[in-house]
Amino acid sequence: KENKLWGGRFKGTTDPLMNLYNSSISYDSKMFKEDLEGTRIYTQGLQKLNLITVQELEAIDTGLTAIEKEWVEGTFKIVENDEDIHTANERRLGEIIGKEISGKVHTGRSRNDQVATDMRLYCFNNLNQKIIPFLKDLIQAIIERAENEIDVLMPGYTHLQRAQPIRWSHWLSSYATYFSEDLERLQQLTQRLNKSPLGAGALAGHPYGIDREFLAQGLNFNDVIGNSLVAVSDRDFVVEIMFWSSLFMNHISRFAEDLIIYSTAEFGFVQLADAYSTGSSLMPQKKNPDSLELLRGKSGRIFGNMAGFMMSLKGIPSTYNKDMQEDKEPLFDSLLSVEHSILIATGVISTLAIKPENMFKALTMDMLATDLADYLVKKGVPFRETHHISGECVALAETLKLSGIDQLSMEQFKKIDDRFTEDVFEIFDFEQSVEHRSAIGGTAKKAVLAQLAKLQANL
Ligand code: ARG
């Protein structure tokens, strides 16, 4: 007879491929700490019900500590029939403290509330210990760069066509703004997932009246899931993390795409550090922005993880079904890829060299055509009309093959509209154009600095 935790009612053996197919230990052993901690607190709850003695509790505690040490030191031996982290830890506990005592830890508990507890704890710990602080570092690095390089001007684009001059720091601040919203969203979802399923049993609830609030507090959850069916079957927190990851990677991808464009020889605005570039096996001169391309490329897989798992979830009936084991591989993959992506993005942005001369050279006078229209607005001409007049100036300069609208003579301006006067030439100043955009959220120095201060305060 096979030595399986659930083997009592079975007569036949499991197909070997089925064993492999069913097993999750190769990826859920990541949660060994959370699993042991859950058992530690759960057995305290059992002791309060006098279902185990104080001496037994002490033995269990010692056993759990020994198992944790084995996992940490890499000496834990996974054996056949260790189907998942829960069965592996329980099997090992029996070996260390004897089955007489270890056989009591699962009283009233199911792997259904156990795995839901482990997953929530794992997510909470991962987000709080890694993703959130790393994301804060990324935002901090962008803010610092933006403050230091506040005087650098560059072209702002729409449709990837030169549009209006902006500050480089304004561009930086735009991504810090996205990431800051990502941080806020992450903090909100972290609160939502921080609820305890433990003590819900297999689905129907706990038969010995365990104190679920005590269990929740012991595991630092801030609430108890109020319906046992939901406690074991809810994986919305997994979907939320995957969605968060997808949206975050979407921002990272656009950030990377901008920098890829800016780093081409044709633009020449930025130069990636060697540390984040790679070369070509054939073309000796190549320096490729592989870090940025991977930031952009990985976003596809992260989105796929979310879409795939939502498909797994959508058709399954109430409570636990084995389909739900499919939450782990894509979730762990998303968490790890996001973690690495944040660290790479932080490295890239902290080591990037910028070329302010090239950014400035890329500014062209036609980018001040809006400023030209605004000039006449200040003289009382309706904007619809001034837009047209300024457009005629652009067209004339183009026909005359002038280098820009600033090269038109006073007579030529006057011929287009006699409300133009000598002071029109004063508008052809990029710095001044930028400084005019001083309303909240604009690209003027004080407006950008205000954005940065607010982002900093939100960290
Ligand atoms: N390895 C399983 C999972 O990750 C644990 C829960 C198993 N529960 C069960 N009733 N078979 O979903």
Note whether 195 and 175 are within 8 A (CB): no
Q: Which atom belonging to ligand 1 lies closest to the Cα atom of 328?
A: 4
CA distance 189 to 192: 5
Same structural domain, 134 and 53: no
Instruction: Give ligand 1 pocket residues (Cβ under 6 A).
Output: 24, 28, 84, 111-112, 115, 320, 322, 324-325
| Kind and range of the H or E run holding 234 | none
Dump strand ranges (E) for 88-217: 153-158, 161-167, 195-196
CA distance 26 to 82: 10
| Mutational pocket test of ligand 1: of 4, 22, 112, 312, the residue with most ligand atoms within 8 Å of the beta carbon | 112
User: For residue 260, which of 285, 300, 295 has the smallest C-alpha distance?
Assistant: 295
Indicate which CATH number applies to the domain containing 317. 1.20.200.10
Question: pLDDT value at position 8?
Answer: 87
Domain boundary among 77, 102, 127: 102
Determine whether 380 is exposed, middle or buried from the number of CB atoms within 10 Å of its CB (0-12, 13-18, 19+).
exposed
CA distance 438 to 444: 5
Same structural domain, 95 and 140: no
Q: What is the ipTM score, two decimals?
A: 0.97
Note whether 149 and 354 are within 8 A (CB): yes
Give the CA distances from residue 335 to residues 127, 128, 294, in Å, rounded to whole numbers and listed in that order: 8, 12, 16
Same structural domain, 266 and 378: no
214: in domain: no
Provide Rg for the chain, Cα atoms: 31
Length of the chain: 459
Same structural domain, 276 and 412: no
Determine whether 60 is exposed, middle or buried from the number of CB atoms within 10 Å of its CB (0-12, 13-18, 19+).
buried
Indicate which CATH number applies to the domain containing 72. 1.10.275.10
Same structural domain, 264 and 393: no
CB atoms within 10 A of CB 227: 11
Atom 11 (ligand 1): residue with closest C-alpha?
A: 322
SS3 165: strand
Question: pLDDT value at position 280?
Answer: 83
Question: pLDDT value at position 1?
Answer: 64
The residue written with tokens 């709080």 in the block is: 128
Note whether 338 and 275 are within 8 A (CB): no
Question: pLDDT value at position 11?
Answer: 87
Question: pLDDT value at position 5?
Answer: 82
Residues (pLDDT < 50) of the chain are none
Give the CA distances from residue 293 to residues 265, 313, 339, 356, 425, in Å, rounded to whole numbers and listed in that order: 17, 31, 16, 24, 43
Same structural domain, 69 and 119: no
Total tally of structural domains belonging to the chain: 3
Report the separation in Å between the CA atom of 33 and the middle of ligand 1, taken as the mean of its atom positions: 17
- Residue 224's DSSP bridge partners are 196
Note whether 358 and 150 are within 8 A (CB): no
Measured in degrees and rounded to the nearest 5, phi and psi for residue 165 equal -70, 140
| Mutational pocket test of ligand 1: of 82, 111, 321, the residue with most ligand atoms within 8 Å of the beta carbon | 111
Those residues whose C-beta lies under 8 Å from the C-beta of residue 141, and which sit 6 or more positions away, are 346, 349, 350
Q: Whole domain around residue 62: which residue ranges?
A: 7-102
Question: Which residues are identified as catalytic?
Answer: 159, 280
CA dihedral 46, 47, 52, 57 (to 10 degrees): 110
SS3 354: strand
Same structural domain, 387 and 326: no
128: in domain: yes
Atom 4 (ligand 1): residue with closest C-alpha?
A: 325
CA distance 107 to 43: 9
Atom 7 (ligand 1): residue with closest C-alpha?
A: 111
